[in-house]
């Protein structure tokens, strides 16, 4: 039996109900042959039984890879990708659901052989009038945010166009690109991993197209939660490592300056109850978030030597000059006010650890 052209990788950890809904969303007509590869990170909530039951009656192949413990988003996705020989790899979070022809629309982006990544229009599950992400933007300290996050969908992102990189919640990669540049950086564990892979691909000369017809809906905050200290520390640590690994030298030297600007804008927004920090309840919660940021910076400091060695090892892959990378980041830069005053999560998002 020939290999399906697309493998849909779904990483799961103790989210049985969401996982079942995710798998069932792929029963909608997708317009392309595919297999689903579920990588379970040691769940204890019956997730494995959900997959086995679904696979028994599924009209497409379903494979289950079981880990004894939680290896994180990066390692588990890499495991799923390595288990596949398909020329295209789609990622679908276990807390996301695909709309009809999601895969077919993503595949349409790859007619241009220079395109290595395709981004979906991701909508908030509880209110699909609201955009979760339509590609990604970046601030010049390495912090990134979904394009259009929190905006009402009025058709402003209904044009197929180039974006910086796709969100790993619902996207597609060309396998030839991954074979060339490598898979997810497993040192990151989770958060910012799609940014690192995406920027590495862009520096290697690959393009990313956003396809607005490829729609998925996402349960925000279902993985760790808005104010989870580990989430905050990972985001901070990984944005530093992203900058160290890929930023041009001048932007890297200015990183503390851009971080200070973002921090000051975030504090001002929080004092007015705005932005993501403004939604963390109470003074104690905000202080805990501050210490989580410091913890992330301390972890990044310990990882700098290893990350710098990775930067040097990637030199043979570079197709963009430092000036071209700088222009790319500036072209897809998020406005500071938008970054500081808009929350990444809508009100009411799950805040459970």
Q: Both ends of the chain: CA-CA distance in Å?
A: 43
| pLDDT, position 270 | 77
Residue 15's pLDDT band (cuts 50, 70, 90): very high
| pLDDT, position 267 | 82
| pLDDT, position 2 | 67
User: Please, what's the b/e burial string for 64-87 (b: 16 or more CB within 10 A of its CB; e: otherwise)?
Assistant: bbebeebbbbbbbbbbbbeebebe
Question: Taking 70 as the threshold, does the pLDDT of residue 277 lie above it?
Answer: no
Question: Taking 60 as the threshold, does the pLDDT of residue 292 lie above it?
Answer: yes
Apex 269 CA angle, 266 and 273, nearest 5: 130
Delineate the domains of the chain, giving CATH numbers in brackets.
1-94 (3.90.550.10), 97-353 (no CATH)
160 CB burial (10 A radius; 0-12, 13-18, 19+): middle
| pLDDT, position 279 | 66
The helix/strand/coil state of 299 is: helix
Structure confidence by residue, pLDDT tens digits, 169-178: 999 999 999 9
Structure confidence by residue, pLDDT tens digits, 90-113: 999 999 999 999 999 999 999 999
| CA dihedral angle for residue 331, residue 236, residue 340, residue 259, rounded to 10 degrees | -70
pTM for this entry: 0.93
Mean pLDDT value across residues 194-221: 96
Q: How much is the mean pLDDT over the chain?
A: 92
Long-range contacts for 319-325 (Cβ within 8 Å, ≥24 apart)? 319/203, 319/204, 319/205, 320/202, 320/203, 320/205, 322/248, 322/249, 322/250, 323/248, 325/202, 325/203, 325/246, 325/247, 325/248
Mean pLDDT value across residues 293-301: 96
Indicate left, alpha or beta for 236 from its phi (over 0: left) and psi (-120 to 50: alpha). alpha
Question: Taking 90 as the threshold, does the pLDDT of residue 289 lie above it?
Answer: no
Mean pLDDT value across residues 183-201: 96
| pLDDT, position 348 | 41
Mean pLDDT value across residues 277-297: 81
Residue 4's pLDDT band (cuts 50, 70, 90): confident
H or E stretch including 213?
strand 207-218
DSSP class of residue 2 equals: P
Say how many C-beta atoms besides its own lie within 10 A of residue 133's C-beta: 28
Mean pLDDT value across residues 81-97: 97
Rounded distance between C-alpha atoms, residue 93 and residue 85, angstroms? 20
């Amino acid at each position: 039996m020939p290999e399906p052209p697309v493998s849909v990788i779904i990483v799961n950890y103790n989210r049985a109900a969401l996982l079942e809904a995710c798998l069932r969303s792929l029963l909608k007509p997708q317009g392309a042959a595919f297999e689903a590869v579920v990588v379970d990170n040691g769940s204890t909530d019956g997730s494995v039984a959900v997959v086995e039951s679904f696979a028994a009656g599924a009209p497409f192949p379903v494979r289950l890879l079981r880990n004894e413990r939680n290896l994180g988003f990066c390692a588990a996705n890499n495991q799923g990708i390595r288990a596949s020989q398909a020329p295209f790899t789609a990622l679908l979070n276990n807390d996301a659901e695909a709309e009809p022809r999601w895969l077919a629309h993503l595949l349409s982006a790859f007619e241009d052989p220079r395109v290595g990544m395709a981004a979906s229009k991701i909508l908030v599950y509880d209110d699909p009038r609201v955009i979760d992400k339509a590609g990604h933007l970046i601030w010049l300290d390495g912090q990134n945010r979904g394009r259009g996050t929190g905006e009402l969908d009025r058709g402003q992102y209904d044009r197929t166009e180039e974006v910086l990189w796709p969100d790993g919640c619902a996207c597609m990669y060309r396998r030839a690109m991954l074979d060339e540049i490598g898979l997810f950086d497993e040192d990151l564990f989770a958060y910012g991993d799609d940014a690192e892979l995406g920027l590495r691909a862009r520096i290697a000369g690959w393009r990313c197209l956003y396809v607005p017809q490829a729609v998925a809906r996402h349960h925000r905050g279902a993985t760790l939660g808005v104010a989870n200290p580990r989430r905050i520390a990972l985001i901070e640590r990984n944005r530093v490592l992203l900058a160290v690994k890929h930023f041009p030298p001048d932007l890297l030297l200015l990183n503390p300056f851009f971080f200070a600007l973002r921090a000051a804008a975030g504090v001002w927004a929080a004092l007015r109850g705005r932005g993501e920090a403004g939604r963390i309840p109470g003074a104690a919660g905000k202080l805990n978030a501050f210490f989580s940021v410091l913890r992330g910076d301390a972890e990044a400091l310990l990882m700098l030597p290893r990350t710098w060695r990775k930067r040097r090892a990637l030199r043979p892959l570079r197709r963009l000059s430092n000036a071209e990378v700088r222009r790319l980041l500036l072209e897809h830069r998020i406005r500071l006010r938008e970054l500081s005053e808009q929350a990444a999560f809508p009100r009411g998002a799950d805040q459970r650890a």
